[in-house]
């Protein structure tokens, strides 16, 4: 069989065919033609002070390349961070799918995962309130499989034809390009208020799920219903899930906004550093399987992407795990140039007729053509499959492969018939032969008309603190609107989700809750579809789904958590070091923060190195605070307004705070001290609110593992 000459397909390393175009470390500086450069500091001039000569090819080449360094950013999901790793199967799926990488437990498949926000530009902040993209490219031996999902299991719209409208509405407004990476503006909520199907996903977006503590601490979902197809051509429906081993955790909204200012790369840095320090992020991979015969047994349509299958109804079966263990060498070459596509499937995985998914199948290649500039984007190293590529596609901008021979068509004899078509038994992809016999219609199925019952299920499933955060998120977002009628329409829509939610949001906005029926129909343009598919009243049996709340998530580890230790001259070295060692032994990372960099002198005269000063550190960048013993240190810090602010903020954001000995004096000056210690509450109660006085390291570790003490918001009247 004749083969095409192909670039090395080791996607894990960027190696060129003919020449070494790697980093060039230890090599001479050259032009792009390989000519060694003698002077890269000065352009070629007519005399020392003379004009620069057009002849200077070295200058021209360098500037020209620079002028063209930027490519269009992704139309959505522009800001992202990615990493390499592997997927390891633990349970064979051979009963359901013939996909090779899902057959034999222990099989490892290389992956590249990219996480992103949706609305913001490439340079925007990581902590925007937004859905997060969760896209994974599996480099399987049968070709690339892309699972291009999000960190919420549902989507805003039911039909791809509405996607440009949704995105136009959420992106900065076109007249003034404001606001960046934010949904709190008129056009977004105008669209939402006229699109009742968006309400379920809106509930997720207004919840803390939209403010992850870390990319490593968020779930991922394939969103659509897909199909598995086995060797016998039998199919089942499948939904995909990623479950983070560290649990699902979020930050508070006030904190998110402050992080955006203090470190807009907060998530990117967190992912990078976790991998650099060997704390490889891990997710369990799960599936929900629905037999074909059960397609219509639910009170929602499996094809409707605004619906999830509650885990209480179809449990998630864990079948493997993903480990991310290598940072990219080059952000542009890998994270920026990776091109995902929900249509990149392998034999054994197929599509359902979800109209949102069907539209996506067109969009992704189309967008890569303008973003990456050529139909040969699959030849960019990060996009190359490890499976060999043989076909009759030729040429085009930036073609890398040097195809040999006379034959570039099929069928042929000039090429000995190569490359051959593969039979199904040889791994050739055969679409699932679903029977379709239908009329062409431009309509929506009645079974998609229930827009509110799962929004209600989501709200009812939240803890009290989570509900409060949702109320405040609506108050914030709608409070930013300039058009009162949009605000009122959204509140009217909320009455369909939960009357109390609507009333509380309305109270915060100082408006009356209006009649939902009127509201939903008023101001809707005559040609606007929503009124034609007003909600169907469905009363699902399931009233609460625990899996929808983050309250019951994994809380058993402080691995990679960032702990601030505030200290000054006179700190008790033992008190500081004992806690520091215990926290680090449990996997946390500690930073000693003082008024200045360099060293502080401990009570016993020893010098202690300072990691960060109050100028460069910020409370919002840490998970917990420790105040060690040492009378002088505590007293110096009480005169340091930044130290008091630091503790107050940690208290407001419901983080664990521990003080030892004299460290407690410092606590007394803060809101934490006033609210808890000075009110003479029982010590047990301090603990319940995550304030620990003279407690041992084990107790502090447990408190940090709890992530946040949201109970503090109500008990101490603080709003995180």
Q: Which residues sit at the interface with ligand HDE, rule CB under 6 A?
A: 74-77, 80, 114, 116, 133, 135, 148-150, 155, 160, 163, 223, 305, 339-340, 356, 359-360, 363-364, 367-368
In terms of CB distance, is 73 or 683 closer to ligand HDE? 73
Shortest distance in whole angstroms from residue 565 CB to ligand HDE? 37
In terms of CB distance, is 196 or 305 closer to ligand HDE? 305
Shortest distance in whole angstroms from residue 118 CB to ligand HDE? 8
Is 150 an active-site residue?
yes
For the range 483-489, what are the long-range contacts, defined as Cβ-Cβ under 8 Å and sequence gap of 24 or more? 483/186, 483/190, 484/511, 485/523, 486/186, 486/189, 486/190, 486/193, 487/189, 487/511, 488/514, 488/519, 489/193, 489/194, 489/519, 489/520, 489/522, 489/523
SS3 readout for 40-54: CCCCCECCCCCCECC
In terms of CB distance, is 341 or 487 closer to ligand HDE? 341
Maximum CA extent, the chain = 92
In terms of CB distance, is 201 or 590 closer to ligand HDE? 201
In terms of CB distance, is 135 or 486 closer to ligand HDE? 135
For the range 291-294, what are the long-range contacts, defined as Cβ-Cβ under 8 Å and sequence gap of 24 or more? 291/236, 291/237, 292/234, 292/235, 292/236, 292/237
Indicate the SS3 state at residue 147: strand
Shortest distance in whole angstroms from residue 114 CB to ligand HDE? 4
In terms of CB distance, is 356 or 634 closer to ligand HDE? 356
149 strand-pairing partners: 134
Taken in order 523, 524, 527, 531, the sign of the CA dihedral is negative
Indicate the SS3 state at residue 173: strand
Is 77 an active-site residue?
yes
In terms of CB distance, is 208 or 334 closer to ligand HDE? 334
In terms of CB distance, is 360 or 504 closer to ligand HDE? 360
CB 191 within 8 A of CB 165: yes
DSSP symbol at 649? H
Shortest distance in whole angstroms from residue 393 CB to ligand HDE? 20
Shortest distance in whole angstroms from residue 74 CB to ligand HDE? 4
Helix, strand, coil percentages, rounded to 5, for the chain: 35, 15, 50
Strands (E), 127-203: 132-140, 143-150
In terms of CB distance, is 339 or 624 closer to ligand HDE? 339
Q: Which of 11, 144, 150, 151 is catalytic?
A: 150
Shortest distance in whole angstroms from residue 256 CB to ligand HDE? 20
Shortest distance in whole angstroms from residue 111 CB to ligand HDE? 13
DSSP states of 454-521 as a string? HHHHHHHTS-HHHHHHHHHHHHHHHHT-S-HHHHHHHHHHHHHH-HHHHHHHHHHHT-PPPPHHHHHH
Supply 195's token pair: 């699109």
Taken in order 360, 366, 368, 370, the sign of the CA dihedral is negative
Shortest distance in whole angstroms from residue 115 CB to ligand HDE? 8
DSSP symbol at 28? P
* Beta strands at 589-594 and 562-566: parallel, antiparallel or unpaired: parallel
DSSP states of 618-648 as a string? -GGG-SEEEE---HHHHHHHHT-HHHHHHHH
Shortest distance in whole angstroms from residue 110 CB to ligand HDE? 17
102 φ, ψ (degrees, to nearest 5): -110, 20
Indicate the SS3 state at residue 197: helix
In terms of CB distance, is 345 or 509 closer to ligand HDE? 345
* Beta strands at 282-291 and 691-693: parallel, antiparallel or unpaired: unpaired
Counted residue by residue, the chain has a size of 720
Listed residue (625, 706, 697, 707) closest to 666, CA to CA: 625
Shortest distance in whole angstroms from residue 364 CB to ligand HDE? 4
Using Cβ positions, the residue closest to ligand HDE within the complex turns out to be: 133
* Beta strands at 80-89 and 691-693: parallel, antiparallel or unpaired: unpaired
Catalytic residues: 77, 150
């Amino acid at each position: 069989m004749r083969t095409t000459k192909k670039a090395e397909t080791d996607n894990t390393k960027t190696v060129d065919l003919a020449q070494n175009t790697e980093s060039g470390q230890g090599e001479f500086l050259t032009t792009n033609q390989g000519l060694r450069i003698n002077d890269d500091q000065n352009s070629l001039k007519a005399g020392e002070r003379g004009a620069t000569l057009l002849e200077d090819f070295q200058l021209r080449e360098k500037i020209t390349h620079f002028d063209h360094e930027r490519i269009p950013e992704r139309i959505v999901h522009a800001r992202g961070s990615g990493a390499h790793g592997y997927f390891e199967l633990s349970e064979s799926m051979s009963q359901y799918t013939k996909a090779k990488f899902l057959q034999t437990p222990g099989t490892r498949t290389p992956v590249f995962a990219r996480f992103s926000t949706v609305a913001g530009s490439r340079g925007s902040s990581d902590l925007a309130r937004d859905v997060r993209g969760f896209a994974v490219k599996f480099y399987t031996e049968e070709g690339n499989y892309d699972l291009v999902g999000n960190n919420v299991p549902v989507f805003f719209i039911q039909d791809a034809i509405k996607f440009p409208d949704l995105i136009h509405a959420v992106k900065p407004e076109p007249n003034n390009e404001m606001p960046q990476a934010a949904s709190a503006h008129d056009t977004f909520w105008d669209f939402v208020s006229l699109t009742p199907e968006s309400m379920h996903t809106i509930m997720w977006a207004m919840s803390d799920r939209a403010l992850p503590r870390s990319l490593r601490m968020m779930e991922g979902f394939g969103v659509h219903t897909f199909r598995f197809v086995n060797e016998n051509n039998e199919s089942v429906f499948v939904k995909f899930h990623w479950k983070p081993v560290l649990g699902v955790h979020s930050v508070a909204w006030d904190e998110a906004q402050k992080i955006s200012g203090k470190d807009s790369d907060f998530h990117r840095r967190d992912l990078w550093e976790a991998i650099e320090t060997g704390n490889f992020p891990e997710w369990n991979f799960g599936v929900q399987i629905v037999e074909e015969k059960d397609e219509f047994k639910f009170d929602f349509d499996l094809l409707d992407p605004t619906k999830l299958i509650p885990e209480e109804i179809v449990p998630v079966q864990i079948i493997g795990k993903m480990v991310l263990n290598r940072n990219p060498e080059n952000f542009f070459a890998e994270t920026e140039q990776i091109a995902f596509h929900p249509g990149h499937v392998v034999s054994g995985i197929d599509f359902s007729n979800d109209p949102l998914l069907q539209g996506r199948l067109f969009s992704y290649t189309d967008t890569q053509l303008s973003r990456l500039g050529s139909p040969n984007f699959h030849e960019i190293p990060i996009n190359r499959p490890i499976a060999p590529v043989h076909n009759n596609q030729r040429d085009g901008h930036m073609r890398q492969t040097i195809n040999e021979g006379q034959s570039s068509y099929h069928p042929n004899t000039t090429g000995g018939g190569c490359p051959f078509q593969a039979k199904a038994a040889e791994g050739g992809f055969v679409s699932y032969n679903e029977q379709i016999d239908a009329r062409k219609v431009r309509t929506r199925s009645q079974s998609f008309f229930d827009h509110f019952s799962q929004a209600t299920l989501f709200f009812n499933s939240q803890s009290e603190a989570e509900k409060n955060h949702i109320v405040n998120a609506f108050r914030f977002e709608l409070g930013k609107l300039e058009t009162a009628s949009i605000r009122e329409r959204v509140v009217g829509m909320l009455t369909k989700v939960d009357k109390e939610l609507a009333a509380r949001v309305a109270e915060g906005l100082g408006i009356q809750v209006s009649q939902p029926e009127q509201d939903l129909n008023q101001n809707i343009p005559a040609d606007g579809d929503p009124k034609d598919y007003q909600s169907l009243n469905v009363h699902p049996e399931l009233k609460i789904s625990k899996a929808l709340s983050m309250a019951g998530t994994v809380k058993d580890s402080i691995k990679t958590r960032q702990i601030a230790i505030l200290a000054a001259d006179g700190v008790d070295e033992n008190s500081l070091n004992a806690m520091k060692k215990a926290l680090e032994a449990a996997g946390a990372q500690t930073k000693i923060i003082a008024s200045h960099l360099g060293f502080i002198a401990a009570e016993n005269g020893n010098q202690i190195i300072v990691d960060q000063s109050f100028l460069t550190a910020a409370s919002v960048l840490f998970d917990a605070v420790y105040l060690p013993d040492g009378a002088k240190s505590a007293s110096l810090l009480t005169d340091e307004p930044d130290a008091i602010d630091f503790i107050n903020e940690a208290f407001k954001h419901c983080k664990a705070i521990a003080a030892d000995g004299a460290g407690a004096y410092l606590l007394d000056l803060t809101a934490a001290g006033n609210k808890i210690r000075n009110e003479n509450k029982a010590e047990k109660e301090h603990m319940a609110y995550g304030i620990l006085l003279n407690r041992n390291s084990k107790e502090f570790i447990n408190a940090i593992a709890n992530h946040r003490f949201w109970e503090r918001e109500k008990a101490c009247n603080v709003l995180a």
